[in-house]
Amino acid sequence: MANSIELELQTFPKTVALKDATKATLRPLHKADERDFHQLFLGIPNRNGCSSSIASRTQATAMKMFAMLGFSELMRQEDYVKDMQAISHDYILMGLDLRTDEEYVSAAG
């Protein structure tokens, strides 16, 4: 079965129920989301004390979500990037194996 990011994006927005039964809408990010998205990351506690588990759980959750969409981990560089508070984080490169539909290729000539 061919994977296509365009086909997958057509399935959004999706409404999901969180563990606490709160409903949430999943959709691709838009340019207008940039400020709110940045604020979300600023609100994630740093690694002092027990807050480190929150950040690592957030990263693990994001990776699981992308894995469900067909992405896989291609490379991991431990402590490769630093956030604005100079805290090191792993750099994780994930990829999606896109396949071209044979029909599409033959139609293009």
> In the structure encoding, which two tokens stand for residue 102, read together?
């044979």
pLDDT value of residue 33: 87
Q: Can you tell me whether residue 99 is helix, strand or coil?
A: coil
CA Rg, the chain, in Å? 18
Q: Count CA within 13 A, CB hemisphere, residue 15.
A: 3
pTM score of the predicted model = 0.42
pLDDT value of residue 77: 92
The pLDDT tens digits of the residues spanning 20-46 come to 999 989 888 888 988 888 777 766 665
Query: Which of 30-34, 36-40, 55-59, 66-70 is least confident?
Result: 55-59
> In the structure encoding, which two tokens stand for residue 77, read together?
């560089």
Q: Count CA within 13 A, CB hemisphere, residue 39.
A: 5
